[in-house]
Each structure stands twice: as structure tokens, then as C-alpha cells.
């Protein structure tokens, strides 16, 4: 992923260079490491080899490694095999995916079992994938590294595939998804993947209101040109708020139904989280444009809630900005430097103590 680590070369000059630099540095801290990626790809290739030997047909890759937006720690990979089904044995109303999943599990176990003694492969009870637990993390310190392996068949009547859905099948087009993401990365000179990394990390640190695929599907709608990080994030949040306010996100390939929300989230709650994030982003931009970079960074760091990824400003810099801004503030200014809320406090009470 070295290519994606380079800063944009021809994106518009950012209006907030301080925040843009902070985002570039933060992104570099969270992006997948070369050693993680190499190991993940090696394991993925071995699964592909096993599936090809077992089924013939074609394999595809998707998920964050295939889409170029993986984060560290890297914990999983996604891939699938499209099993030849010329005789039409499998499909809706015919045979379900169970025996294909069993064969895939056996083939993967034969390929990897010798090198991964703690390997566990389960497919019974999984909705879609054969779930491979390597028992050996790619990133030191992580619990494990896993693979979701789909045993699909071609959809004869149109675009896409039939993929397992419990005992039956449902439609999806993961090959088109990866192709669309790849084309968008090319068209945006990789700024799409860079912005997606930041948004995915925001989601990871804020209760996961959207799954990664939903984030990227919204990104495909929102990010059509090369952008800086700040501009890209602003475009994504603004679009996501508008789009989700109207309903769940459509499948970009127009094959599957709308993308579901994570368990425990309503669409109203998701929109509220997005609005709050967008407010922080706007306040950060406004602070930098007014000449208060430490206050700007304080707002941006709060968006991610991850001091390892984006540390806040130093206390001295923050105090300097606060004092300057207080001196310059009109009494009715909308954002008080000492609070984070956009509401001006209605009173200036006296703090006290019991003595």
C-alpha cells in the first residue's frame, strides 16, 4: 500500500493546510503496514489456490485489502469462488450452498492445516461465508486473523452472483463492487481510498454506526474527483447526511437490496452521529480559517477520539489560541473557545466549594 501512502500530488491546494497536514499524518498512522498486507495477501492466495483446485471456476477478492483502504491492525480478508454451475444444480429453488461450503472448508483445511495448527473453519450457522480462523494473527498483539470465504454461483438472469444466504441464496455483485472501487481509486488518484480510511476509522471510534461497505458505497456517490483529506471528509459527511436522511444506501451495483445498518442502530441515530461529526469538522475548519490552529486541531481530534491516531494540541498552544480568541471575541460570538458546544452559555455562574 506504499502507493496510497503518498500525499496527493494534484489535488486542489487545501484551504486549511494545518488540518490537512494533521489528517495526512493521522492517516499514515492508521493505514495498514506493508508487512501486514504481504502476509494477508499470502494467506489469501493460498486460500484461492485451494478453491481453484477444488472447484475450478474463478475467484474474486473484495473487502478492505482488495479495495486499498485497509487499516492497521489488519484482522480479516474477504474473498470468494464462483463455482461452475453449468448444469444448474445449485440456485434458488434447487440445491442450497451447504455442500459447496463443506467442500470449500475441507479444501482450505487441506491447504493450510499443516502450517496453521490452530486453524478453525466453520460454516454451519454462518449466514453467508465459510469463516476461517487462522489461530495466528497477522498483526502482533491481535487476537487472530480471519477470512470470510464465499462460495457463489453465477446469476444466470443478469448481473452479479448468487451468494449463500443461510440455507438459500441471495443476489449480490462483489466483483462489480471491487471493480467500481478500483476504478474510483484510479480516477481520484487514490484520494478515495485515503478518505475512506479516515471515515472508517471515525466509524470504528464512534460506535460503528455504519459498516465499511456502506461507508464506501456512500463514498462512491460523494467522491468523484481527486480531493484533499479535509475536503473529501467534508464532502462525504455532507452527502451521507443527505442520503441517509432519505433512506438506506442502495447497492452501488444495483443488484442487492439497500445496505442494512449495524445491529442496534436506527437510521435517525446514524444521521445524528453524522451530523455531530460534520459539526465538529465545520468548527475545525472555521477555527483554522479564523487563525486558531490549536482550537481547530482540538475539534478535529475530538472527531476521531483516538489520541494515538490524532493527538490533540499541546496545552500551551491551546491556551494561546483561547486567550487570543477571547480577546478578539464579541460577547455574542457563536462558539465560545472554552466550550465545545455551539451554544453560547446563557450565564456566567460563580463556581464554589463547601470550604
List contacts with another protein (CB under 8 A). 268-269, 272-273, 280, 298, 301-302, 304-307, 310-313, 315, 318-319, 322, 336-341, 343, 345-355
User: DSSP letter at 95?
Assistant: B
All three cell numbers of 318, joined, read 491551546
CA 71/CA 278 separation, integer angstroms: 22
CA 230/CA 233 separation, integer angstroms: 5
42-74 burial code (b ≥16 CB/10 A, e <16): ebbebbbebbeebbebbbbbbbbbbbbbbbbbb
Minimum CB separation from another protein for residue 7, in Å? Answer: 24
Before 58, cis peptide (omega within 30)?
no
Among residues 39, 31, 60, 57, which one has the least CA distance to residue 193?
31
Minimum CB separation from another protein for residue 273, in Å? Answer: 7
CA 250/CA 156 separation, integer angstroms: 22
Report the half-sphere exposure of 9 (CA within 13 A, side-chain side). 6
Minimum CB separation from another protein for residue 3, in Å? Answer: 30
Q: Which of residues 74 and 294 has its CB atom nearest to another protein in the complex? A: 294
Q: Which of residues 2 and 351 has its CB atom nearest to another protein in the complex? A: 351
Q: Which of residues 21 and 103 has its CB atom nearest to another protein in the complex? A: 21
Minimum CB separation from another protein for residue 99, in Å? Answer: 43
CA 153/CA 172 separation, integer angstroms: 10
Minimum CB separation from another protein for residue 24, in Å? Answer: 18
Q: Which of residues 43 and 280 has its CB atom nearest to another protein in the complex? A: 280
CA 54/CA 148 separation, integer angstroms: 17
All three cell numbers of 108, joined, read 482450505
Minimum CB separation from another protein for residue 202, in Å? Answer: 13
Q: What is the dihedral of CA 91, 94, 95, 97, to 10 degrees?
A: 30
Q: Which of residues 22 and 79 has its CB atom nearest to another protein in the complex? A: 22
Minimum CB separation from another protein for residue 207, in Å? Answer: 8
Q: Which of residues 96 and 312 has its CB atom nearest to another protein in the complex? A: 312
Minimum CB separation from another protein for residue 134, in Å? Answer: 33
State the CB neighbour count (10 A cutoff) for residue 247: 9
Q: Which of residues 109 and 279 has its CB atom nearest to another protein in the complex? A: 279
Q: How far is CA 211 from CA 148, 165, 220, 300, in A?
A: 15, 18, 15, 22
Q: Which of residues 91 and 311 has its CB atom nearest to another protein in the complex? A: 311
Minimum CB separation from another protein for residue 233, in Å? Answer: 17
Q: Which of residues 182 and 275 has its CB atom nearest to another protein in the complex? A: 275
Q: What is the dihedral of CA 247, 299, 10, 5, to 10 degrees?
A: -90
Amino acid at each position: 500500500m506504499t502507493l496510497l501512502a503518498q500525499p496527493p500530488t494534484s489535488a486542489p491546494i487545501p484551504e486549511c493546510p494545518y488540518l490537512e497536514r494533521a489528517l495526512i499524518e493521522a492517516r499514515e498512522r492508521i493505514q495498514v503496514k506493508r508487512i501486514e498486507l504481504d502476509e494477508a495477501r499470502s494467506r489469501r492466495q493460498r486460500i484461492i489456490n485451494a478453491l481453484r483446485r477444488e472447484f475450478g471456476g474463478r475467484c474474486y477478492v473484495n473487502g478492505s485489502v482488495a479495495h486499498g483502504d485497509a487499516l492497521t491492525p489488519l484482522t480479516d480478508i474477504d474473498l470468494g469462488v464462483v463455482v461452475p454451475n453449468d448444469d444448474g444444480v445449485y440456485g434458488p429453488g434447487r440445491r442450497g450452498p451447504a455442500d459447496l461450503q463443506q467442500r470449500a472448508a475441507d479444501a482450505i483445511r487441506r491447504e493450510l492445516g499443516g502450517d496453521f495448527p490452530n486453524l478453525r473453519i466453520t460454516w454451519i450457522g454462518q449466514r453467508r461465508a465459510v469463516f476461517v480462523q487462522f489461530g495466528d494473527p497477522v498483526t502482533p498483539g491481535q487476537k487472530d486473523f480471519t477470512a470470510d470465504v464465499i462460495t457463489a454461483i453465477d446469476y444466470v438472469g443478469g448481473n452479479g452472483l448468487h451468494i449463500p444466504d443461510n440455507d438459500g441464496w441471495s443476489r449480490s455483485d462483489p466483483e462489480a463492487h471491487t471493480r467500481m472501487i478500483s476504478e474510483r481509486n484510479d480516477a481520484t488518484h487514490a484520494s478515495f481510498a485515503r478518505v475512506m480510511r479516515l471515515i472508517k476509522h471515525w466509524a470504528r471510534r464512534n460506535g460503528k454506526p455504519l459498516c465499511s461497505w456502506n461507508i464506501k458505497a456512500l463514498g462512491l456517490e460523494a467522491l468523484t474527483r481527486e480531493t484533499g483529506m479535509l475536503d473529501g471528509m467534508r464532502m462525504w459527511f455532507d452527502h451521507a447526511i443527505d442520503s441517509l436522511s432519505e433512506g438506506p444506501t442502495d447497492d452501488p451495483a444495483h443488484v442487492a437490496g439497500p445496505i442494512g445498518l449495524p445491529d442496534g442502530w436506527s437510521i435517525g441515530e446514524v444521521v445524528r452521529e453524522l451530523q455531530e461529526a460534520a459539526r465538529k469538522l465545520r468548527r475545525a475548519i472555521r477555527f483554522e480559517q479564523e487563525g486558531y490552529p490549536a482550537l481547530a486541531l482540538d475539534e478535529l481530534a475530538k472527531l476521531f477520539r483516538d489520541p494515538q491516531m490524532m493527538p490533540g494540541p499541546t496545552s500551551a498552544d491551546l491556551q494561546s489560541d483561547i486567550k487570543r480568541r477571547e480577546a478578539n471575541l464579541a460577547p455574542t460570538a457563536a462558539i465560545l473557545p472554552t466550550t465545545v458546544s455551539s451554544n453560547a452559555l446563557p450565564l456566567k455562574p460563580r463556581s464554589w466549594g463547601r470550604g
